[in-house]
Amino acid sequence: MQTLAKQVLEHATGLPEGTPLVAKELLHLGRRSAVDQVLSRLVNRGTLLRAGRGTYVLPVESRFGSRAPSALKMVEGLANQRGETIVPHGAAAANALGLTTQVPMRAVYLTSGRSRRLKLGAQMVELRHAPVWQLIFPKRIAGDVVRALAWLGPEKAGKAIQKLRARLQPSEMEEVASARARLPTWMAQEVSSLVRHG
């Protein structure tokens, strides 16, 4: 069992920060029951963190001690591993675009997968299942605009579009507008003004 624990740790150490460890990915090292036992023991020792049911992560070691990996890196690793689309919540997108000064207190992401919570040390990361239109253009300004408008809602969208018109590149405005057919009617109408007045 000791050698299996060593192999699991060597595997985990070779992964980028925040990459989730799941038993299925470690079956080349041993039987499922043995892998599950080793993962559980490593958590009890404090060598691994249990982020969620069946999901583990290696803490980051620094000269100040060990800490949980960043939520963003964990979420990116999860997206790559599971083939999910995971993007920042509309509140975070609105803040990044300068549409609100509110800073989200919790790490919340939208996902094409199921809703769930992950624990990274003291921080709770929430993944919320979202409709496909809210997940478009991941890692792009156009996608942040769609998510920010969804969070702001129909009442505040018009004012937000006016602010964005001054801040966005014409190509970014066109990209947002290109998604109109996929958006709710109220948002498609607001986004159309980016093209009309662009």
Domains of the chain: 2-67 (1.10.10.10), 70-198 (no CATH)
pLDDT at 121: 84
Q: What is the pLDDT of residues 5-58, one digit of tens each?
A: 999 999 999 999 999 999 999 999 999 999 999 999 999 998 999 999 889 999
pLDDT at 196: 58
With contact defined as beta carbons under 8 Å apart, do 173 and 195 qualify?
yes
Which residues of the chain fall short of a pLDDT of 50? 198
Of the candidates 57, 55, 35, the one whose C-alpha atom is nearest the C-alpha of residue 46 is 57
pLDDT at 1: 53
Q: Is 97 left (phi over 0), alpha (psi -120 to 50) or beta?
A: alpha
The whole-angstrom separation of Cα 95 and Cα 77 is: 24
Sign of the C-alpha dihedral computed for residues 65, 106, 147 and 74 taken in this order: positive
pLDDT at 198: 45
